[in-house]
């Protein structure tokens, strides 16, 4: 048998270059998904929408995914590969983002109803691309990093997405110059940029496939093909069911919260949407103004996870304890939402945000590598797409539900709120998220129990098999 020849992925420099290129796609799509949170106040005054309609616009990214579009993405990925799937969903995301941007410029009509309809249609198309791109980029990361620094690569890949969320949330008001449309157009152009880089990546993908195929002909290991019966196997795997439900409960309490956090900070703690003129301020006054700005403070949550997710990821790799860390993350989530809803102390509010940030780094760092311990590698594409699909049911409900609940519990004061005479009371909408935290703890304990019964090895370091 001939010796297996070295391939492109055996070069660390090329591997990491590939990771940066494909991660820019995550940066752009996460930015577009989350940047509107910093614009909520502006959207309400400029487009004349209420909180419930804002919730609908945000929620529309999940609608097509709720009825199985991510599964279609997963199947296209498994059947036709990274290149076809990447190009198809890159076009879908870019088209969706462009329609949203054109709608905000009034291209389809400048009455609020038409604008909203086309913004939702655009975001729905974009949402199909967003989730499938996340699966495709994850699959591509596995393709290049399996057998090398996979956990770190996945953490860095998610970190690019978090940068997108952080910067999009924090700077969209300034990027738009106080208007919605330019901020949307900028966000859409980032997706186009990420897509162009992805097209450049295809050169590496084609070269690697040629080398791997040549090795296969010379005696390398053939890959096992995906079968549709794998879906049934997933649906009957207890560990997979618990981790999927945990994914819904946990992320429903985090991603939707981030969409409303700037508005919560403005309404509850008197933070600002727009930074005051910093030029004549001392350094301390500048820091004070930044820590009193809703979008900037919210942007610090995903920014913090960029540092902590790889740290927690390497703890999970070296020490294990993934299920226990998910339990801890769920407790932190409850503390965060209780302190941000029931109390009026700004200090406790900051502590709540820090606690949410730690949970947001901890749970993904423990959850995503655990899926690979529960599910066989040839089913990972399907596993991630199924998890994202079910996750979107929760996200769709809470993205819209928080806004709708906000309008409902404040229904007596809506006119005064619009006139700027009163502020929204966020207590009940945020308290609802505590329920997600309680469900998360229950599911994390069930996962721990299933791990003991089925010996997935979730509590063991990476590479150590359970006996
Ligand atoms: N290796 C898998 C990484 C998944 C990271 C995870 N992403 C999601 O849950 C997606 N459904 C994308 C959602 C994007 C919303 N801003 C994450 O923690 O981001």
DSSP label of 2:
P
- Spatial separation of the C-alpha atoms in residues 124 and 105, rounded to whole Å: 18
Q: Identify whether the C-beta of residue 458 lies closer than 8 Å to the C-beta of residue 322.
A: yes
Give CA 397 to chain center in angstroms.
16
**Ligand 1 and 367: CB distance under 6 A:** no
In degrees and rounded to multiples of 5, residue 293 shows phi and psi of -110, 120
134 within ligand 1 shell (Cβ under 6 A)? yes
> Homologous superfamily of 11-216+226-454 in CATH?
MFS general substrate transporter like domains (1.20.1250.20)
pLDDT of residue 224: 52
Give me the mean pLDDT over the 53-69 stretch. Answer: 96
Q: Of 124-133, 236-245, 323-332, 372-381, which gets the smallest average pLDDT? A: 372-381
pLDDT, mean of residues 132-142: 92
Q: Which residues pair with 272 in a beta bridge?
A: 293
The band of 218, judged by pLDDT with boundaries at 50, 70 and 90, is: low
Q: Is the CB of 131 under 6 A from ligand 1?
A: yes
53 vs 433: CA distance, rounded Å: 20
Q: Is the pLDDT of residue 97 over 50?
A: yes
pLDDT tens for each residue of 408-429: 999 999 999 999 999 999 999 9
The set of residues, in sequence order, having a beta carbon less than 8 Å from that of 165 and lying 6+ positions away, is 30, 31, 33, 34, 258, 299, 302
60-69, 402-411, 457-466: the lowest-pLDDT one:
457-466
- Does residue 456 contact residue 466 with C-beta atoms inside 8 Å? yes
CA distance linking residue 23 with residue 27, whole number of Å: 6
Q: From the CB of 244, is ligand 1 less than 6 Å away?
A: no
- Residue 135 Cα to ligand 1 middle (Å): 9
Cβ–ligand 1 distance for 34 under 6 Å, the answer yes
Q: Which residue's CA lies nearest to atom 12 of ligand 1?
A: 131
| pLDDT mean over 93-110 | 97
In this prediction, residue 225 has a pLDDT band, given cuts at 50, 70 and 90, of low
Mean pLDDT within 245-262: 97
| Percent of the chain topping pLDDT 90 | 77
**Pocket of ligand 1 contains residue 263 by CB under 6 Å:** no
How does pLDDT run across 7-52, given as a tens digit for each residue? 999 999 999 999 999 999 999 999 999 999 999 999 999 999 999 9
Q: What is the pLDDT of residue 146?
A: 82
Backbone angles phi, psi at 208, to 5 degrees: -65, -45
> C-alpha distances in angstroms, 218 versus 9, 144, 210, 214?
18, 20, 12, 6
Q: Is 308 exposed, middle or buried (0-12, 13-18, 19+ CB in 10 A)?
A: middle
Give yes or no for a contact between 312 and 361, defined as CB atoms under 8 angstroms apart: yes
The pLDDT confidence band at residue 67, using thresholds 50, 70 and 90, is very high
CB 313 within 8 A of CB 155: yes
Report d(CA 403, CA 264) in Å as an integer. Answer: 11
**Cβ 132 under 6 angstroms from ligand 1:** no
Q: Is 364 in the pocket of ligand 1 (CB under 6 A)?
A: yes
> CA-CA distance, 131 to 137, in Å (whole number)?
10
User: Are 439 and 331 within 8 A, CB to CB?
Assistant: no
Q: Biggest alpha carbon distance in the chain?
A: 80
Confirm or reject: Cβ of 391 under 6 Å from ligand 1: yes
User: Rounded to the nearest whole angstrom, what is the distance from the C-alpha of residue 134 to the centroid of ligand 1?
Assistant: 7
* Phi, psi dihedrals of residue 329, rounded to the nearest 5°: -60, -40
Residue with tokens 């860095």: 156
Q: What is the Cα–Cα distance from 7 to 143, expressed in whole angstroms?
A: 12
Residue 320 region by backbone torsions, left for phi larger than 0, else alpha for psi between -120 and 50, else beta: left
pLDDT band at 1 (very low <50, low <70, confident <90, very high): very low
The model's pTM is 0.90
Q: Confirm or reject: Cβ of 161 under 6 Å from ligand 1.
A: yes
Distance CA 254, CA 257 (A): 5
CA of 50 to the centre of ligand 1 (A): 28
| Weakest mean pLDDT among 155-159, 226-230, 436-440 | 226-230
Confidence of residue 273 (pLDDT cuts 50, 70, 90): very high
Whether residue 407 is predicted with pLDDT greater than 70 in this model: the reply is yes
357 has pLDDT over 90:
yes
Atom in ligand 1 nearest the alpha carbon of residue 392? 11
31 Cβ inside 6 Å of ligand 1:
no
> What is the signed CA dihedral for 277, 281, 284, 288, rounded to 10 degrees?
-30
The DSSP bridge partners found for residue 167 are none
pLDDT-based confidence at 3, cuts 50/70/90? low
Q: Mean pLDDT check: name the lowest of 201-205, 223-227, 347-351, 398-402.
A: 223-227
Q: How many CB atoms lie within 10 A of CB 250?
A: 27
36/57 Cα distance (integer angstroms): 9
Q: Which of 161, 299, 305, 386 to mutate to test the pocket of ligand 1 (most atoms within 8 A of CB)?
A: 161
Give CA–CA dist 126/188, Å, rounded: 10
Decide: 385 and 71 in contact? Cβ < 8 Å. yes
* CA 362 to centroid of ligand 1, rounded, Å: 14
Percent helix, strand and coil across the chain, each rounded to 5? 80, 0, 20
> Which atom of ligand 1 lies at the shortest distance from residue 165's CA?
16
Strand pairing partners for 293? 272
- Specify the pLDDT at position 5: 76
CA-to-CA separations, 425 to 45, 294, 305, 360, 391, in angstroms, rounded: 18, 16, 28, 25, 27
Three-state DSSP state, 293: strand
* 26 in Cβ contact with 134 (< 8 Å): yes
């Amino acid at each position: 048998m001939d010796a297996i020849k070295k391939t492109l992925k055996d070069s660390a420099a090329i591997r990491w270059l590939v990771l940066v290129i494909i991660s820019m796609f995550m940066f752009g799509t996460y930015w577009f998904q989350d940047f509107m949170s910093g614009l909520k106040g502006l959207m309400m005054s400029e487009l004349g929408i209420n909180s419930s309609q804002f919730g609908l616009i945000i929620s529309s990214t999940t609608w097509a995914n709720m009825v199985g579009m991510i599964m279609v993405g997963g199947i296209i990925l498994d059947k036709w590969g990274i290149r076809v799937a990447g190009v198809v969903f890159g076009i879908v995301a870019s088209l969706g983002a462009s329609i949203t941007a054109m709608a905000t410029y009034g291209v389809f009509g400048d009455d609020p109803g038409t604008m909203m309809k086309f913004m939702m249609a655009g975001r729905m198309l974009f949402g199909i691309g967003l989730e499938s791109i996340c699966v495709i980029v994850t699959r591509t990361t596995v393709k290049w990093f399996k057998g090398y620094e996979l956990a770190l690569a996945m953490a860095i890949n998610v970190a690019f997405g978090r940068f997108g969320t952080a910067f999009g949330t924090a700077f969209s008001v300034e990027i738009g110059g106080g208007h919605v449309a330019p901020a949307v157009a900028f966000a859409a152009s980032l997706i186009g940029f990420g897509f162009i880089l992805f097209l450049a990546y295809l050169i590496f993908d084609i070269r690697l496939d040629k080398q791997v195929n040549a090795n296969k002909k010379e005696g390398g290991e053939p890959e096992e093909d995906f079968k549709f019966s794998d879906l049934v196997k997933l649906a009957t795997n207890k560990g997979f069911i618990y981790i999927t439900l945990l994914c819904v409960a946990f992320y429903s309490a985090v991603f939707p919260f981030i969409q409303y956090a700037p508005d919560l900070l403005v309404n509850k703690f008197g933070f600002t949407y727009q930074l005051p003129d910093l030029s004549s301020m001392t350094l301390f006054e500048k820091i004070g103004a930044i820590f009193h700005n809703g979008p900037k403070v919210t942007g610090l949550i995903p920014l913090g996870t960029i540092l902590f997710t790889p740290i927690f990821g390497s703890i999970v790799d070296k020490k294990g304890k993934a299920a226990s860390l998910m339990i801890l993350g769920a407790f932190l989530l409850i503390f965060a939402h209780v302190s941000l809803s029931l109390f009026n102390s700004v200090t406790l509010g900051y502590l709540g945000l820090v606690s949410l940030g730690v949970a947001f780094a901890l749970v993904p760092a423990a959850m995503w590598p655990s899926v690979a311990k529960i599910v066989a590698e040839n089913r990972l594409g399907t596993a991630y797409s199924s998890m994202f699909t079910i996750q979107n049911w929760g996200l769709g409900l809470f993205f819209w539900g928080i806004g709708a609940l906000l309008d409902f519990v404040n229904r007596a004061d809506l006119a005064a709120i619009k006139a700027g005479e009163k502020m929204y009371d966020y207590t009940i909408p945020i308290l609802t998220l505590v329920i997600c935290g309680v469900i998360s703890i229950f599911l994390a304990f069930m996962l721990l129990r299933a791990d003991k019964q089925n010996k997935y090895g979730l509590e063991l370091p990476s590479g150590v098999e359970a006996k």
